[in-house]
Chains A and B, each alone.
Chain A
Amino acid sequence: MKCREVVELMTDYLEGALSPQDRERFEQHIAGCDGCRAYLQQLRLTLRAMRSFEATPIPERVQKELVQAFRSWRLTGSP
């Protein structure tokens, strides 16, 4: 496996979608290749960044209206 191909398998690897043989070849390559290891780490950190987007809080007005709708559904069966 060449670095050029390995980088295209990284999502399949992270998703657990490689066949056992490909997985083994992938891991062997990664173990001996600083470049691909760095690239994989960059991808992992990219995922981490996307998962740490600050969550926009729900506006108070919207929350009030939704809770109102929820209560009215509980009472009457429609929001």
Chain B
Amino acid sequence: MVESSSPELEALKRGDEATFVDLIQRYHGPMLRLAMAYVRDHHIAEDVVQESWLTAIKSLHRFEGRSSLKTWIFGIVINLARARRRKESRLLTFTALLRRDDPDRPERTVDPSRFTAAGDWRAIPHQWENIPESTLLGREAMQRVQAAIEKLPPKHREVIVLRDVAELDAGPVSELLGISAENQRVRLHRARASVRKALEDYLG
């Protein structure tokens, strides 16, 4: 790809402090959630985010803008968070060892008992359109969503956090994780289905 510097990147390289402050404020939330997809401890995740910015500053002169600034910085978070997780680790638990589930295999994501033998809905899912926003995006619902994301297998969790929480595009996410576009979609689909299910358990 052609080197394409964004105005933001140019400003950073010039040492523009306002741009820097805007970035660290704007990305803090999603970077923290991304770090927490790897290291569960909030303080360690905060450390990872801070360390990521220090690494970014140090490497800024070498960054040519082949990916977007956001993708680049989130990639640094992934690398440091993974390294941190290895360091903190925790021996593999038996359940993890016994988990045979291949994260890239398409699986039925909806309970088969919800369909008739012919494959039609037995009872159709509820309309959520009339649920007030204060419930749909309320504290309880958001906690359910958060818990569902935390419970996902790590390979599904990283994809859904990058795509749906940090709002990166599909292409950069496949690239950051070194997976095919198709595997990215399979993981995303399975992850989204689990989170939807958790919300359905709450909202009906």
Hey, which bits of chain A sit against chain B, CB under 8 A? 2-5, 7-8, 10-12, 15, 17, 33-36, 38-39, 41-43, 45-59, 62-63, 65-67, 69-71, 73-74, 77-79
* Neighbouring B residues of A74 by C-beta, 8 Å: 15, 17
Complex contact A7–B142 (CB within 8 A): no
| B89-117 CB contacts (< 8 Å) to partner A | 106, 108-110, 112, 115
A77 to B61, CA, bound (A): 9
* Neighbouring B residues of A47 by C-beta, 8 Å: 164, 192
Complex contact A46–B196 (CB within 8 A): yes
Closest to A45 in B: B128
17 contacts between A and B (CB under 8 A): A2-B118, A4-B108, A10-B189, A11-B188, A17-B185, A35-B124, A46-B145, A46-B195, A49-B142, A49-B199, A51-B164, A57-B28, A59-B46, A63-B24, A66-B24, A69-B53, A70-B20
Please name the 10 residue pairs, one residue from A and one from B, whose CB atoms are nearest each other, closest first: A55-B29, A2-B119, A35-B124, A11-B189, A35-B121, A74-B15, A4-B119, A58-B28, A50-B164, A38-B125
The number of chain B residues with a CB under 8 A from chain A is 58
Most chain B Cβ neighbours within 10 Å, of A12, A36, A45, A58: A58
Complex contact A12–B142 (CB within 8 A): no
- The answer, yes or no, to whether B81 is at the interface (CB within 8 Å) is no
Closest to A17 in B: B185
Known: A49-B145, A54-B142. 14 other contacts (CB 8 A): A2-B115, A3-B119, A3-B121, A4-B108, A15-B185, A35-B125, A38-B127, A42-B199, A43-B196, A45-B199, A48-B137, A49-B136, A51-B164, A57-B28
A42 to B129, CA, bound (A): 9
* Neighbouring B residues of A15 by C-beta, 8 Å: 170, 185, 188
A67 to chain B, nearest CB (A): 6
* Neighbouring A residues of B15 by C-beta, 8 Å: 70, 73-74
Closest to B144 in A: A49
- The answer, yes or no, to whether B33 is at the interface (CB within 8 Å) is yes
Complex contact A4–B110 (CB within 8 A): yes
A7 to chain B, nearest CB (A): 5
Complex contact B124–A38 (CB within 8 A): yes
- The answer, yes or no, to whether B134 is at the interface (CB within 8 Å) is no
Q: A2-B120, A47-B192, A66-B54 are in contact. Are A7 and B110 (CB under 8 A)?
A: yes
